């Protein structure tokens, strides 16, 4: 069985982490489960309840759509996690939030010796929605992620580190497997770097 050795840097300590074929096997399992899309099937009980109760209000419908979108987003992040694990990423944090400041980073992990801050965007494909999910990572969102990244580096005491911002975009079409696009170094916010190495300073 082939194994890959990846070196992970956490708090200045070099730790050898062995990444076996396990990640590929897990992604295959996740991929198979999502072969008909990321959204869950409506249960027979829910369907029967809907028939008995009748039409829901506009407010209830909006809440249901929002909750469905939230669940799809969570499934998209899980799919992206194992997709990147299969590519060799070694993750050190998921859904990381800085203290006392608004913001969240979906995935943080090493791609080789580069620390990647990953934003995952999932879109359910419909005729009325034509925009690509990666386009929703606006300049404002980029600044929020960059600020959180600086705080992560400070909290983990990472003095110098080659870093970048990646975006994983997922098209989720019900009845079909998800389509994934990985954009490495998708955006480059203004960050203080070492002029000699190009690595970020804390």
For residues 119-124, give the mean pLDDT: 93
Which residue range forms the structural domain that includes residue 18? 4-201
Of 156, 185, 198, 149, whose CA–CA distance to 10 is shortest?
156
Q: pLDDT tens, 145-157?
A: 999 999 999 999 9
Structural domains of the chain, count: 1
pLDDT at residue 5 tops 70: no
- CATH number, domain at 68? 3.40.1350.10
Structure token pair of residue 164? 């970048």
Q: DSSP secondary structure string, 40-70?
A: PPPPHHHHHHHHHH-SPPHHHHHHHHHHHHH
Q: Name the token pair of 154.
A: 């400070």
Look up tokens 């992620």; give the residue: 145
194 has a pLDDT exceeding 70: no
User: Percent of the chain beyond pLDDT 70?
Assistant: 72
Are 160 and 153 a contacting pair, CB within 8 Å? no
Mean pLDDT of the chain: 79
Residue 188 pLDDT level (bands cut at 50, 70, 90): confident
C-alpha distances in Å from residue 118, one per residue of 43, 91, 175, 180: 33, 10, 27, 14
Least confidently predicted of 8-12, 30-34, 95-99: 8-12
pLDDT for 162-176, tens place per residue? 999 999 999 998 899
Encode pLDDT of 32-79 as tens digits. Answer: 999 989 865 544 444 344 433 444 567 778 888 888 888 889 999 999
Structure tokens at 83: 């997709």
64 burial (CB, 10 Å; 0-12 / 13-18 / 19+) is exposed
Decide if 181 contacts 188 (C-beta within 8 A). no
């Amino acid at each position: 069985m082939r194994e890959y050795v990846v070196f992970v840097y956490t708090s200045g300590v070099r730790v050898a982490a062995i990444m076996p074929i396990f990640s590929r096997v897990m992604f295959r399992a996740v991929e198979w489960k999502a072969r008909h899309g990321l959204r869950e099937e409506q249960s027979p009980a829910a369907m029967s309840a809907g028939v008995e109760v009748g039409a829901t209000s506009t407010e209830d419908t909006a809440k249901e759509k929002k909750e469905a979108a939230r669940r799809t987003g969570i499934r998209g992040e899980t799919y992206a996690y194992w997709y990147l694990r299969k590519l060799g990423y070694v993750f050190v944090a998921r859904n990381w939030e800085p203290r006392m400041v608004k913001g969240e980073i979906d995935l943080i992990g090493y791609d080789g010796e580069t620390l990647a801050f990953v934003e995952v965007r999932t879109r359910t494909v419909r005729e009325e929605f034509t925009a690509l999910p990666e386009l929703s990572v606006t300049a404002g969102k980029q600044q929020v992620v960059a600020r959180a990244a600086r705080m992560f580096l400070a909290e983990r005491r990472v003095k110098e580190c080659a870093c970048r911002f990646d975006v994983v975009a997922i098209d989720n079409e019900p009845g079909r497997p998800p389509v994934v696009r990985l954009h490495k170094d998708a955006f480059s916010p203004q960050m203080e770097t070492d002029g000699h190495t190009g690595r970020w300073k804390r």
